[in-house]
Amino acid sequence: MYEIVEGFLEAIRLIVTLDPNVMAIAVRSIIISLTATIIASLFAIPLGAAINFGTFPGRKSLINLIQTLYSLPTVIVGLLIFLLISRVGPFGFMRLLFTPTAMIIAQTVLIIPIMTGLTISALSGVDPVIRDTLRSLGATKLQFLTNVIKEARFAILATVAVGFGRAISEVGAAILVGGNIAAASFASSTRVLTTAISLETSMGNISQSIALGIVLLVIALGVNLAIAAVQHR
Amino acid sequence: MIELENVSKYFGDTRVLDGVTGKVNRGEIFAVIGPSGSGKSTLLRLIDLLDTPTGGTIRVDGTDIHTEHEKSLSVRRMMGMVFQKPAVFNATVAENIAVGLRFRGADKNKIDARIKEALDLVGLGGYGQRRARTLSGGEMQRVALARAMVIEPEILLLDEPTANLDPVSVAMIEDLVVRINRDLGTTIVFSTHDMYQGQRLAHRLGVLMNGVFAQVGTPREVFTLPASREVARFVGIENIVEGVVVSENGTSAVDAGGIRIRARSPFGAGEAICLCIRSEDIRIAPAIRGRRVFDGNILPGTVTSVVPRGPFSKVTVDCGFSLSSILSWKKVDDLNLREGREVVVSFSPESVHVVRRE
């Protein structure tokens, strides 16, 4: 019990003094997961729109498949990307294994299904009368799409937040393809909040783990508060 | 301007429209009236290219709008539509109204000027910067009307635009519809289940029933000379009596359950018909024996009910079949009308409209 209290106090000190090690890991986590979220958005939002407004055979099954992939285990994604980019894999020549890029790829793949699915929900949630109104006002196909997305902007923003939350909080893929490396340079290190917590805890550095855990929580909470603030404006 | 030729629309096995034929002339207000679920909205959606007909042709200025796909955007841009459910974009009122103009690539100065004009037109001057979602239903519907009008459509389609609104908003929208048509010459097609609204606003109306126009004509024609028993019932004719045409000394007469009624009808002897008599045309008098000065239908009967209706009372008399009349409260008191009282009912042959019974 004493250890936990002491660890907690030490964690507060690390955060308040902006401990360089903790901050570096936090900033790296944000950069990697934010990049993954942006890339995933570029795929998931247009894909979600195409599936929502498209009429093609197997549309319902595809939506079901996407929804099933919401619970895609992170280690499975990690394993898949690992196999693809390891030395013997088809993309081994790119030397991506144990780099931040590999982590971005893994997180992107991980969150595309949930972001696509939630985009479909967001767009299908737009009032049919609004859609009819856009068409009756003489919208071209592109004007129609951009305006429906605009109308669903808050729900889509929430989708992005969910994607970011899942990316920054996952540990399985990050450790498999990132390797939790603390290299000399910031850019080639792959130690992020989740992998660091995992490592520090196993090494008995409870205070370090708690500090990193608090930072992770604050980031997740901050993103959601920011989204809520925009939605209620 | 708009020609409908045998237009049909099925949703699965449900036939919503089953051969609608009619024509809307340039510059007129045309009302599509009919009971709920008769396909009024579907017809307007087909005209606005929001749905595809199962069969038939819709032509706008001679263009078959559902086959000439390369023209569909330009055809749709000739039209504006307001829907039954007030719906606004999640933006300011001004941004809502600007949408159609922005789609057409209008420049900012023109958009600003038009928004101001449109807001003044619908009585929402100064509302430009308000969030549209915070408005009342009636105000939202006026924004929807302004949004459809800024693009200066040649045809304005209104799908039950006042169905869910308060009486003040209804009066305001009705007034706008008349002014838009009169001042801008816009052809207006609107649907309503309120036959009196159809009567107030329309130059001509089409009664949509069982998937077809049961009758198309001026409000006066439809209300006084309904084409069928269903139309008669829909336009509020309360006395519909079944009978058979018989000849009687060269004048037209109808046998209604053993009672002779004089009426003018184009039908020959032996034809099954319905007599349509408006309540306002039926008089009720005390049963006094003596000379008959009135050269029409005079039927003795017994009052079966007296029901208040607004400032009037509806008095129903059984004279072999039921007939209802509308009387002022004072008249009801003067005649001492109550259940069981013996009276005579009278109406002229001219006030009887005869339709074929199907």
DSSP assigned state of A185: S
Closest-approach residue (CA) in chain A for B76: A138
CATH of the domain at B155: 3.40.50.300
pLDDT value of position B248: 64
Question: Of B207, B228, B249, which one is at a domain's C-terminal end?
Answer: B228
Query: Token digits for A132?
Result: 């009819």
Q: Does the beta carbon of B85 lie under 8 angstroms from any beta carbon of chain A?
A: yes
Cβ contact B87–A151 (<8 Å):
no
B104 CB neighbours in chain A (<8 A) are: 138
Q: Are residues B175 and B280 in the same domain?
A: no
Q: Does the beta carbon of B81 lie under 8 angstroms from any beta carbon of chain A?
A: yes
Cβ contact A137–B148 (<8 Å):
yes
Q: Does the beta carbon of B87 lie under 8 angstroms from any beta carbon of chain A?
A: yes
Q: Are residues B242 and B219 in the same domain?
A: no
**B242 vs B261: CA distance, rounded Å:** 11
Q: Are residues B99 and B181 in the same domain?
A: yes
Residue range A154-193, pLDDT digits in tens = 999 999 999 999 999 999 999 999 999 888 888 889 999 9
Smallest Cβ–Cβ distance between B103 and the set A132, A138, A150 belongs to A138
Closest-approach residue (CA) in chain B for A127: B87
Closest-approach residue (CA) in chain B for A150: B90
Which helix H or strand E contains B213, and what residues bound it? strand B212-217
Q: A229 phi and psi, to 5 degrees?
A: -60, -45
Q: How far is CA A57 from the centre of its chain?
A: 30
- Residue A102 pLDDT > 90: yes
Question: Of B228, B254, B283, which one is at a domain's C-terminal end?
Answer: B228
**How many CB pairs lie under 8 A apart between chains A and B?**
53
Q: Are residues B299 and B174 in the same domain?
A: no
Q: Minimal CA–CA distance to B102: which of A49, A124, A146?
A: A146
- Residue A104 pLDDT > 90: yes
Closest-approach residue (CA) in chain A for B44: A136
Q: How far is CA A74 from the centre of its chain?
A: 11
Question: Which of the residues in chain B have pLDDT under 50?
Answer: none
Contacts of A223 (CB under 8 A, 6+ apart): A161, A164, A165
Mutate to test the interface with A, among B65, B83, B101 (most CBs of A within 10 A): B83
Cβ contact A129–B99 (<8 Å):
no
Smallest Cβ–Cβ distance between B89 and the set A135, A136, A151 belongs to A151
Contacts of B73 (CB under 8 A, 6+ apart): A138, A140
Sign for the CA dihedral angle at A211, A212, A217, A220 comes to: positive
Cα R_g (chain A), whole angstroms: 20
Range of the domain at B289: 237-356
Q: B312 phi and psi, to 5 degrees?
A: -115, 175
Q: Are residues B9 and B138 in the same domain?
A: yes
Closest-approach residue (CA) in chain A for B72: A138
Pairing relationship of beta strands B187-192 and B155-159 according to DSSP bridges? parallel
Q: Are residues B271 and B307 in the same domain?
A: yes
pLDDT value of position A163: 94
Q: Does the beta carbon of A130 lie under 8 angstroms from any beta carbon of chain B?
A: yes
Domains in chain A: ranges and CATH: 2-217 (1.10.3720.10)
Cβ contact B81–A133 (<8 Å):
yes
The amino acid that residue B193 corresponds to is H
Q: Minimal CA–CA distance to B123: which of B103, B93, B101?
A: B93
Question: Of B179, B204, B228, which one is at a domain's C-terminal end?
Answer: B228
A139 CB neighbours in chain B (<8 A) are: 103
**B90 vs A156: CA distance, rounded Å:** 14
Contacts of A216 (CB under 8 A, 6+ apart): A26, A29, A168, A169, A193, A194, A197
Mean pLDDT of chain A: 91
Q: A101 phi and psi, to 5 degrees?
A: -60, -45
Q: A115: distance to nearest CA of chain B, Å?
A: 23
Q: Does the beta carbon of A133 lie under 8 angstroms from any beta carbon of chain B?
A: yes
Helix (H, G, I), strand (E, B) or coil at B304: strand
Q: Are residues B242 and B104 in the same domain?
A: no
Cβ contact B76–A151 (<8 Å):
no
B50 CB neighbours in chain A (<8 A) are: 132, 135-136
**B65 vs B72: CA distance, rounded Å:** 6
Helix (H, G, I), strand (E, B) or coil at B153: coil
pLDDT value of position B291: 55
Q: Are residues B306 and B173 in the same domain?
A: no
Confidence of residue A113 (pLDDT cuts 50, 70, 90): very high
CATH of the domain at B323: 2.40.50.100
Cβ contact A129–B90 (<8 Å):
no
**What total of structural domains would you count in chain B?**
2
Q: Are residues B176 and B317 in the same domain?
A: no
